[in-house]
Structure 1
């Protein structure tokens, strides 16, 4: 059963995937290389160092945006690539430090140029787009900069300050958004390896994050794979995860559900839709 599920998914990927996703699949499950993934990732990077060109498949904006740049950092995290001399990494740091798409210590979640290209409705930029107060993706981007960046760079201290402010904001929050929680998971992972002199208690931060992950997972399993809700796999990658204890039964149920709900094509149902751009959404949902 497991082998059949895997092989059907693999067949769909080989028939349909973009090079960036095929090489990631090959890296994780076959004999693929980091270089192949990085070569595929590099084509999405702009001259300013940021990323666009629908790397984040719900936004076809070719211009650099913080969200699409965040998507690139997620792939670098997958590969454990944090080399300051790597041209992709160096470009990202340059983009983040440039002040582009940045204000009031936040990288903008949406940018006006999104509106000029096919996109999901949540990536539309309104007139007040700069009035952002969410740490998605700022918490993750700032901690990436502090983890990887040159401590002598003028922006490094600012990135440290943003990390500290992000944690302070999080500790005061009651019910953070699941996407924001994911960014804070990155920040927590980075803090394990960073020498950040910030006024917060690491253990309290970790305990709150564990609790918030548990609370954000939808307990009504009838909604899973039908609506846009958090399932365990959103946050848990292995049984070694700090979020796994206490969620063992839900994780086991999701594994069972994955096997049972695979479509004949080898895929699983996409649980969201765009309100416009039907043709482009058909392509993006396939990605």
Structure 2
């Protein structure tokens, strides 16, 4: 793959140093400079609570201190990015997070979207009220499978995910589809996952996007958000030409300050700056994974 790129990597670094959280600074150093994984873990641990869960706006759209399922998802995403082999603490933290998730899970295995402890703290409109929606269950299960965690709750959650994906009703909602696809890319049942991915195809528009109901005007999830990794089973949904065009678009969206922005609601200054650090690092990871950065 070619590493010819229009990306100003030094400007992207400056943006991370200027505006991103300490966590993203250390993630950048691990991913691009070979820094030890322990530094990311040290930056991640302050978001953890005594109950084993994660809060304190680790997920920037829910800013209270108490443990929330979205915080657990964010923590597992970072741990999966590091990989179980990088540090013994990665698997320990992932397993303990699964323990906490089991403690808040509903009887059918799914985990709520927002727990009641989030009420009264600043939050995005879609996280302002308690919700038993289980859409985060897909992505959480996917990260646990990526990490190789062996946990009874993961078995129950996986059964719930399959029941929803293979049920009589189509998946509804852009983020539900995104998280379900992440699960299908990670679950170690390739033939079953490949068949299920084909059930997603009719939900996509001609350009490979899927609309976000209730979001910003024309808010949508794009192919590289739905399928970020080359060679993932979900790549069957998209042509090589479409992925190449999406990579060109992603390159072109670097802003003058060196960072990338996001198209969902900017509802507070803190949320906006934290998410920009996260999506900037994500853009760099995606571009490098596809040979657009060395």
TM-score normalized by structure 2? 0.76
| Structure-2 residue corresponding to 1:8 | 11
Instruction: Please give the root-mean-square deviation of Cα atoms over the aligned residues, in Å.
Output: 3.1
Higher alpha-carbon deviation: 44-53 or 237-246: 237-246
Q: 2:265 is matched with which residue: 273, 280, 285?
A: 273
Q: Using the alignment, how far apart are the partners of 1:32 and 1:135 within structure 2?
A: 36
Q: 1:164 is matched with which residue: 136, 159, 165?
A: 159
Q: Using the alignment, how far apart are the partners of 2:124 and 2:13 within structure 1?
A: 27
Is residue 69 of structure 2 the alignment partner of residue 73 of structure 1? no
Higher alpha-carbon deviation: 176-185 or 4-13: 176-185
1:170-209 pair list within 5 angstroms: 170-172=165-167, 173-192=169-188, 203-209=191-197
Q: Using the alignment, how far apart are the partners of 2:89 and 2:15 within structure 1?
A: 35
DSSP 3-state at the match of 1:2: coil
Q: Using the alignment, how far apart are the partners of 1:59 and 1:190 within structure 2?
A: 26
Count of residue pairs the alignment pairs up: 263
Q: Using the alignment, how far apart are the partners of 1:286 and 1:140 within structure 2?
A: 21
Q: 1:115 to 1:265 in 2, by over 3 A?
A: same
Contiguous gaps of at least 5 residues in structure 1: 151-155, 194-201
Q: Assess if the C-alpha contact under 8 Å between 1:70 and 1:141 holds in 2.
A: yes
Structure whose CA Rg is larger? 1
Write out per-residue CA displacement over residues 123-146 of structure 1, whole angstroms, 9 at most, x where no aligned residue.
1115xx3xx3x4321234346567
| Structure-1 residue corresponding to 2:109 | 105
| Deviation, structure 1 residue 40 | 1.1
Q: Using the alignment, how far apart are the partners of 1:254 and 1:59 within structure 2?
A: 30
| Structure-2 residue corresponding to 1:93 | 98
1:32-51 pair list within 5 angstroms: 32-51=35-54
DSSP 3-state at the match of 1:116: coil
Write out per-residue CA displacement over residues 96-153 of structure 1, whole angstroms, 9 at most, x where no aligned residue.
232x364553211012232321111111115xx3xx3x43212343465674135xxx
Q: 2:235 is matched with which residue: 223, 240, 244?
A: 244
| Deviation, structure 1 residue 70 | 1.0
TM-score normalized by structure 1? 0.77
Q: Assess if the C-alpha contact under 8 Å between 1:143 and 1:187 holds in 2.
A: yes
Asked which structure has the greater RCO (Cα within 8 Å, sep 6+), the reply is 2
| Deviation, structure 1 residue 285 | 4.6
| Structure-2 residue corresponding to 1:56 | 59
Q: Using the alignment, how far apart are the partners of 2:72 and 2:137 within structure 1?
A: 11
Q: Using the alignment, how far apart are the partners of 1:95 and 1:58 within structure 2?
A: 21
Q: Using the alignment, how far apart are the partners of 1:192 and 1:101 within structure 2?
A: 22
Q: Assess if the C-alpha contact under 8 Å between 1:227 and 1:271 holds in 2.
A: no
